[in-house]
Amino acid sequence: MNAHHQTEKWLFYGACDLYFSFHSEELVFDYHSAFFAIMALEKHLKGCLIYSKSNEFEGLTEKESFLRAVDIAKSYGHDFPRMATEVEKFLPGGAFSKVLDRSHDTYLGRELIKVLRDSYMETRYPTKDHVSMSFPVGEKNIYYNPLSSSGFHHFIQASCNAIVEGIDEGINVNKLLRNVKDQYKHLEPFGRFQNMYAKGKWS
């Protein structure tokens, strides 16, 4: 049993989270949408990291392979900077670096990756501190809130796409996308989702 099947499993769950976030992208659901977007990126990052450790799966049974993938994923917790650093080094051609270095509707990818753990906490629980405090407007006590911004979602969507495209030769992308499509094709926004996620790879 190799790591590819486990990678596809994590990417499938990530793609489902990303679709739900996309489907719910209305202002009244801003934090719900942001939470599932964060979960989508975390599962894509962990899927890629599982794939990067393929040598650790040689000779394992299906159950052992599943447990090894879970252990790898758990070892990173919600440490997004660490995961991003390792994925950045692993993916060919600097694909992930380009996403991190780019501005996404005024928010730099490298700034957003630093606050994703706190973003996870803020969108999940009542918190004393807010992510917006890291993004001052320039006037006293006024801040930008990336969690309610399109740039936050564009960054996560671009990150997930970079990961899928970076490892697509080693996994069964057609199977992955077919499974996602079978689950959501009856929903009106799904056609627009296909134009955003893994564009050009759907059959």
Q: Give the residue ranges of the chain where pLDDT is below 50.
A: none
Structural domain boundaries in the chain: 3-194
Tell me what pLDDT residue 26 has. Answer: 85
Q: Which residues of 78-116 are buried (b: 16+ CB within 10 A; e: fewer)?
A: eebeebbebbbebbeeebbbebbeeebeebebeebbbbb
pLDDT of residue 194: 98
Residue with tokens 């990126």, as numbered in its chain: 41
pLDDT at 139: 85
Average model confidence (pLDDT) across the chain: 96
Helices 3-23 & 173-184, crossing angle to 10 degrees?
40
Residue 143 backbone phi and psi in degrees, to 5 = -140, 155
CA distances for 121 relative to 31, 35, 154, angstroms: 11, 9, 20
Predicted pLDDT at 1: 59
